[in-house]
Amino acid sequence: MNFFLHIIVMIATTVPNVLGFNLLFGRGKIFHFGPLGVSIVAAYGIFLVTIATDSFTLGIAAGLLVVSLASAFFAWLSLRLDADGFGVMSIAVHLGLLAVVLNWSSLTRGALGIPRIPRFVFLDSTLDFALFSTVVAAVWSYILWKIDKGPFGRKLIALSEHEWHAKSLGIDRPQVHLIAFLLAGIGALLSNVLYPQYLYLLHPSDYGFPGFVFFVTVVVAGGPGSVRGCLLSLILLSFLREGLRFIPMAPDILGPLRLILFGLILYIAVYCRRDLLFPKQRTV
């Protein structure tokens, strides 16, 4: 029972972040390879302030502020650079932020992470956590599904399919990008206000490249842009990822094996969905 509750928490706390990434990468075809960079900013922003002030309200407000700034920065970069250039730059920004967290030990405790992360008072047990995070995930999924099916989703598709045609209809690319990045940033905030609380630990290893590979795998395997597909794919891949823990193998073998397995799934998913994944380049 505890294992299933654990899986539910893992899935539900990942949903907001993955769906935000799906909006950008899957629906908008924006090569944003730094979603975990925004997650780092969100998690450390929230919990450094929460611990310092002993107030979740202030922590979440600080998190919202820094996430908005980070999202606006990524949006600005996406407008300044071409698609591939932005992809490379977003990786660089993610790794830069990770390097700051790992090396600014006096503030972040570096590679040791921050232990004794406080929890919301109403989240006593794993069951409470599972219920609360599922409600948050369900509400966020519904909101993003509505946005995706509405005028904003259509504008995002139009820009991803053909930027010039979309602009000639009056679609404002900077505005659409900014809103999309802010929505993804709010998703990162929701995920990262919950996940470290569940573990009682904020650890930089949760924000490394393997985590990003998992996000990409979920979005590509679920069908880029599809909210339902991403949710289904997240559930299946989370069961696979957590289920691998039961294989009797040494952790130093299991870790790389898991990466290889997810790499293989990603390879197959990209191969099968290559038509949906990349922007359609057309000349005018």
Partner 1 sequence: MLSLSHISLTIGEHRILSDVSCSVDKGEIVGLIGPNGSGKTTLFNVISGFLAPTHGTVHLRGLDITCSSSSRRAQMGIGRVFQNFGIFREMTLEENVLVALEALPKADRTQRGNLRKIAGETLEMVGLQSHAKQKAGSLSGGQMRLLEIARTLMSGKEVFLLDEPTAGVSPKLTQQVADLILQLKKQGKTILVVEHDLPFISHVCDRVIVMDVGRVALTGKPDEVKKSKELRELYFGADPTT
Question: CB-hemisphere CA count at 13 Å for 64?
Answer: 6
Cα–Cα dist 175/238, whole Å: 34
Q: Which two tokens stand for residue 257?
A: 């094996």
- 248 touches partner 1 (CB under 8 A): no
Among 162, 211, 259, 270, binds partner 1 (CB under 8 A): 162
Q: Which two tokens stand for residue 265?
A: 């799934």
How many CB atoms are closer than 10 A to CB 263? 13
Among 7, 143, 158, 254, binds partner 1 (CB under 8 A): 158
Among 1, 121, 250, 284, binds partner 1 (CB under 8 A): 284
Cα–Cα dist 58/115, whole Å: 19
Site string for partner 1, 251-280 (x = CB under 8 A): -----------------------------x
- 146 touches partner 1 (CB under 8 A): no
Among 104, 164, 200, 271, binds partner 1 (CB under 8 A): 164
- Going 105 to 108 to 111 to 114, the CA torsion angle's sign is positive
- 281 touches partner 1 (CB under 8 A): no
Among 103, 142, 172, 260, binds partner 1 (CB under 8 A): 172
Among 92, 143, 157, 201, binds partner 1 (CB under 8 A): 157
- 127 touches partner 1 (CB under 8 A): no
Terminal-to-terminal C-alpha distance of the chain: 58
Type of residue at 67: V
Q: Which two tokens stand for residue 42?
A: 């969100």
Among 61, 161, 247, 264, binds partner 1 (CB under 8 A): 161
196 or 224, CB closer to partner 1?
224
- Going 157 to 231 to 40 to 205, the CA torsion angle's sign is negative
Site residues, partner 1 (CB under 8 A):
151, 154-155, 157-158, 161-162, 164-173, 280, 282-284
